[in-house]
A and B are shown apart, each in its own frame.
Chain A
Amino acid sequence: MASVKVSNIIKTYPAEKKSVVKALNNISFQVDKGELFGVIGPDGAGKTSLFRIMTTLLIADSGIATVEGFDTVKDYKQIRKQIGYMPGKFSLYQDLSVEENLEFFATIFNTSIKENYDLIKDIYVQIEPFKTRRAGKLSGGMKQKLALCCALIHRPTVLFLDEPTTGVDAVSRKEFWEMLKQLKTQGITILVSTPYMDEASLCDRVVLLQNGSMLSIDTPQKITQQFNKQLIAVKTDNMYALLQSLRECNEVENIYPFGEYHHVVLKNNNTKSEVQQYVAAHGFKDVELNPASANIEDCFIELMRNQ
């Protein structure tokens, strides 16, 4: 059963000289109950506009969005009662303490910390030692945990998290995704946006968003399986020269840095050995050349090229 439905959403913003910017260009998807759904895309892709529309904070130019069967325009009051929302910008009261913030949000939703403590317990115990500290004085990682607790304290059925891991270091990012996995077991539908491509693999399904348009929507496994070109990983003694040299190679469709290797996308019917010969003929040393399997980032790059 669908928990969130988005159909043909278009959103524009006025720009210079009476022109408009299309922030969202005909977006449609469904998120099932209990699903962990990722909206993956760089800054400016339209992630925040989309989240604001789904959380009733922004009205689309056209199209329909529903959450738990309620219309985001007509039934906004019902939706607000039962969703949890964590905006990209830290939005708790900086001059209230950790505990006061949590109590405030519980009260607003006519509930108490005690009533729903079981839901937030695993997360809250990590910040409980600092419960008398003002929210503004918390570290980035702790702010994030408190914001998540506040978004959960009224036991929402759908949770919207807009870029919860942006600017957060690798350790805190990993911990945060562990928490989401835990929440998923409670049956909460979770929509999470992120500019980090590697986080896609942690979602049940993802939509890849670029310049307001959907590049792809599927499970992360299926998206990477759809990469239908030959991909190889190459490493030599001079990586920058290799990059420039392989751009001139006829067999190569695309080449880009990829961690310690460069990824090379081959043109149709070309094989690894042709590239191997080319690299050897151009005097590179310590050559390492292996077939590679595409990940979400390779797919995103390929889809951007075809857009």
Chain B
Amino acid sequence: MTDEKVITAKALTKKFADFIAVNAISFEVSKGEIFGFLGANGAGKTTAMRMLCGLSLPTSGEATVAGFDVYKESEKIKKNIGYMSQKFSLYEDLTVKENMRFYGGIYGLTEKRIKEKSQQVLADLHMEAEQNKLVKSLPLGWKQKLAFSVAIFHEPAIVFLDEPTGGVDPVTRREFWEMIYQAAQNGTTVFVTTHYMDEAEYCNRVSIMVDGRIEALDTPTNLKKQFNTASMDEVFLQLARKAVRQAD
């Protein structure tokens, strides 16, 4: 992790008519940091993430992602980030290799680079024997690890992970987190949401949103001290119980 800031948000706000989905959130994320973005359903996480990914214009406030402005340079942001969610990541009816070629192509990598990078990913995941298999025939754990590799295939500055580990077995979940550690060590910034509170502990810092605001932001150790409790689970419950509004 370095002091260089790759995400900055100042009073970032999104309103839908008179409903304030995201209410003046401010924070910074450093290069190579694993940043946990937590909150109950309906707290505004998805809306905030959509603004940072250049998919939704803020109503007010400022934000830069990978050095680009969310209002004026959303196309540049899209080129410099990776995104993976549990719901959508790979094309099931393409093979492993075809998925990599497709994503590499979308991000404008050269034929040669796609080939090199594909070989490297297949070797890292020990999936050489599966390269011509359809993604839908792979076990879920493999799919998720492949999806992560594809999300960072173009070596983005930041990767956004939206509940990446839902439903996977405890061994695969941990293998997945090792890939996250690895990426962070290589300088990729990781912005991750999760419902697993033990995973919040793996993050360098964690923010917790309640009713559109960031109510807490610190290292897991400091948050536990601040809320005088032994687990992140309890920190989350103490904060989220204060929520007034219902999930969408």
Contacts and interface: CB of A to CB of B under 8 A. Distances in A.
A44 B168 CA distance: 9
Contact of B247 (A16, A45, A141, A258): A141
Interface stretch (B6-14, B64-72, B174-182): B174-182
Interface stretch (B97-105, B111-119, B235-243): B235-243
Interface stretch (B19-27, B75-83, B151-159, B197-205): B197-205
Contact of A140 (B41, B134, B163): B41
Contacts of B5: none
B181 A297 contact: no
A273 interface: no
Contacts of A197: 170
A301 interface: yes
A296 to B, nearest CB: 9
Interface stretch (A4-12, A26-34, A147-155, A168-176): A168-176
Interface string B10-54: 000000000000000000000000000001111000000000000
Interface in B173-194: 174, 177-178, 181-182, 185
A178 to B, nearest CB: 13
Contact of A42 (B140, B196, B221): B140
B171 interface: yes
Interface string A34-73: 0000000111110000000000000000000000000000
A43 B167 contact: yes
Given A171-B237, A257-B202, A260-B220, A139 B42 contact: yes
Contacts of B197: 170
Contact of B178 (A41, A174, A243, A301): A243
A15 B137 CA distance: 9
A243 B179 CA distance: 13
Contacts of A196: 196
Interface in A198-254: 210, 239-240, 243
A139 B169 contact: no
B240 A42 contact: no
Interface size class of A (residues with CB under 8 A): 35 or more
Interface in B193-248: 195-198, 201-202, 220-221, 231-233, 236-237, 240-241, 243, 246-248
Interface string A163-196: 0001111111010000000000000000000011
Interface size class of B (residues with CB under 8 A): 35 or more
B140 to A, nearest CB: 5
Nearest to A141: B247
Contact of B198 (A140, A195, A258): A258
A46 to B, nearest CB: 13
A256 interface: yes
In this complex, the member of B169, B185, B197, B240 whose beta carbon has the largest number of chain A beta carbons within 10 angstroms is B169
A291 B45 CA distance: 37
Given A139-B246, A240-B181, A260-B221, A195 B167 contact: yes
A131 to B, nearest CB: 15
A141 B41 contact: yes
A139 B248 contact: yes
Given A170-B237, A257-B177, A139 B166 contact: no
B247 A170 contact: no
Nearest to B175: A256
Contacts of A16: 134, 137
B198 A43 contact: no
Interface of A: 15-16, 41-45, 139-142, 166-172, 174, 195-197, 210, 239-240, 243, 256-260, 297, 300-301, 304-305
Interface of B: 39-42, 134, 137, 139-140, 163, 166-172, 174, 177-178, 181-182, 185, 195-198, 201-202, 220-221, 231-233, 236-237, 240-241, 243, 246-248
